[in-house]
Chain A
Amino acid sequence: MSRQDAAAGSVGLLLFGIGLLLFASPLTLWWAQRSGPWYLPFAIWAGFILLVGLLNGRRRRNDL
Chain B
Amino acid sequence: MTFSLATLFVGATAYLALLFLIAHASERGWIPSRIIQHPAVYVLSLGVYATTWSYYGSVGFAGSSGLVFATIYLGVTLAFALTPVLLMPLLRLTRRHQLSSVADLFAFRFDSRLAGVLVTLMILTGSLPYLALQIRAVAESTQILSGDSPPELVAIVFCIMVTVFAIIFGARHVTPREKHSGLVAAIAFESVVKLAALLLVAAIAVGMAFGGLGGLERWLADNPAELDRFTASVAGEEWAGLLFLAFAAAFLLPRQFHMLFTENQQDAGLRTASWGFPLFLLLLAAAVPPLLWAGRAIGIDTPSDYTVLGIAQLSEVPAVGLFAYLGGISAGSAMIIVSTLALSSMCLNHLVLPLIRLAPLADLYGTLRWVRRALIAAIIAAGYFFYLTLERSEGLVSWGLIAFLAMAQLVPGVIALLYWPGATRSGFISGLLAGGTLWGLAGLFPALSTVGPIEVIGVDLTAAQTPAHFGRLAFWSVSINLLVFVAVSVFTRQDPREAEAAGACRDVSTRVPAGALLADSPQQFVEQLATVTGTPAAEAEIANALEDTGLGWSESRPDRLHQLRDQVQRNLSGMMGPVLARDIVDECLRLDADSRGALAQNVRIIEERLERTRGGLRGIAAELDALRRYHRQILEDLPLGVVAVTPASRIARWNPAMEAITQLTAPRVLGRQLREVPPPWGELLEQFLGESDDQAYKRSLALPDGNRWLTLHKAVIGDPAGDENGDRLVLVEDVTDVQRLEDELAHSERLASIGRLAAGVAHEIGNPVTAVACLAQELRDEHIDPARAGEILEQTQRISHIVETLVGYAHAGRISEPRMPVHTRVAAVASQAERLVRLGPNARDIQFTHDLPADLAVMAEHQRLVQVFVNFFSNSVDACKPGGSITITGRRQRDQAVIRIIDTGHGIPTGIRDKILEPFFTTKAPGQGTGLGLSLAWNMINEYGGELDVQPRRGRQAGTQVTIRLPVANEREAEPVHG
Contact = CB atoms under 8 A, between A and B. Distances in A.
Interface of A: 1-3, 5-6, 8-9, 11-13, 15-16, 18-20, 23-24, 28-29, 32-33, 37-39, 41-42, 45-46, 48-50, 52-53, 56, 60
B638 interface: no
9 contacts: A5-B84, A18-B81, A28-B239, A32-B67, A38-B220, A38-B289, A41-B70, A49-B282, A53-B274
A33 B235 CA distance: 9
A55 B282 CA distance: 19
B278 A33 contact: no
Contacts of B275: 49-50, 52-53, 56
Interface stretch (B226-234, B860-868, B902-910): B226-234
A38 to B, nearest CB: 6
Interface in B64-102: 67, 70, 74, 77-78, 80-86, 88
Nearest to B271: A56
Nearest to A48: B77
Interface in B796-821: none
Nearest to B616: A1
Contact of B274 (A1, A28, A56): A56
Interface in B265-316: 268, 271, 274-276, 278-279, 282, 285-286, 289
A46 B234 contact: no
A42 B84 contact: no
Interface of B: 67, 70, 74, 77-78, 80-86, 88, 216-217, 220, 227, 230-232, 234-235, 239-240, 243, 268, 271, 274-276, 278-279, 282, 285-286, 289, 614-616
Contact of B85 (A3, A12, A56, A60): A12
B271 A60 contact: yes
Contacts of A52: 77, 80-81, 274-275, 278
A13 B74 contact: no
Contact of A11 (B84, B243, B614): B84
A16 B81 contact: yes
A24 B240 contact: yes
Q: Which 3 residue pairs are nearest across A and B when measured between Cβ atoms?
A: A53-B275, A12-B84, A8-B84
B74 A23 contact: yes
Nearest to B87: A12
Nearest to B285: A42
B243 A5 contact: no
A29 B235 contact: yes
Contact of B83 (A12, A24, A41): A12
Given A52-B274, A53-B275, A60-B271, A41 B231 contact: yes
Contacts of B286: 39, 42
Contacts of B276: 53
B959 to A, nearest CB: 60
Give the secondary structure class of A's interface: helix
Contact of B78 (A19, A38, A50): A19
A46 B286 CA distance: 10
Given A37-B217, A42-B286, A56-B271, A49 B231 contact: no
A15 B278 CA distance: 13
B85 A38 contact: no
B278 to A, nearest CB: 5
A20 B77 CA distance: 11
A19 B282 CA distance: 14
A49 B83 CA distance: 13
Contacts of A6: 615
Contacts of B231: 32-33, 41
Nearest to B277: A49
A2 B84 contact: no
Contacts of A48: 77, 81
Given A12-B82, A48-B81, A52-B275, 16 more contacts: A1-B615, A6-B615, A9-B85, A11-B84, A12-B85, A19-B77, A19-B78, A23-B243, A32-B234, A38-B216, A41-B70, A45-B70, A45-B285, A49-B77, A53-B275, A56-B83
A2 B234 contact: no
A12 B235 contact: no
A49 B85 contact: no
A16 B78 contact: yes
Contact of B81 (A3, A15, A39, A41): A15
B178 to A, nearest CB: 27
Contacts of A16: 78, 81-82
A2 B613 CA distance: 8
B80 A13 contact: no
Nearest to A52: B275
Contacts of A28: 234, 239
Nearest to B272: A56
Contacts of B285: 42, 45
B218 to A, nearest CB: 12
Given A5-B615, A6-B615, A23 B78 contact: yes
B909 to A, nearest CB: 51
Contact of A13 (B85, B234, B282): B85
Contacts of A24: 78, 239-240, 243
A27 to B, nearest CB: 11
A49 B220 contact: no
Contacts of B616: 1
A18 to B, nearest CB: 8
B644 to A, nearest CB: 29
Given A9-B84, A16-B81, A49-B275, A42 B282 contact: yes
A43 B285 CA distance: 12
Contacts of A19: 77-78, 81
A48 B80 CA distance: 12
A7 to B, nearest CB: 9
A1 to B, nearest CB: 4
Given A12-B84, A13-B85, A15-B81, A32 B235 contact: yes
Contacts of A45: 70, 74, 77, 278, 282, 285
Contacts of B274: 52-53, 56
A37 B216 CA distance: 11
B82 to A, nearest CB: 5
B245 to A, nearest CB: 13
B228 to A, nearest CB: 9
A49 B235 contact: no
A12 B81 contact: yes
B68 to A, nearest CB: 11
B505 to A, nearest CB: 13
A32 B276 CA distance: 25
Contacts of B271: 56, 60
Nearest to A32: B234
A16 B235 CA distance: 21
A32 B81 CA distance: 22
Contacts of B80: 52
Nearest to B275: A53
A30 to B, nearest CB: 10
A54 B572 CA distance: 40
Contacts of B243: 23-24
A2 B612 CA distance: 9
Contacts of A20: 78
A56 B216 CA distance: 36
Contacts of B227: 38
B601 to A, nearest CB: 29
Contacts of A46: 279, 282
Contact of A29 (B234, B278, B614): B234
A41 B67 contact: yes
A42 B67 CA distance: 10
Contacts of B230: 38
B222 to A, nearest CB: 13
Contacts of A5: 84, 88, 615
A53 B275 CA distance: 5
Nearest to A18: B81
Contacts of B81: 12, 15-16, 18-19, 48, 52
B124 to A, nearest CB: 31
Contacts of A33: 231
Contacts of B278: 45, 49, 52
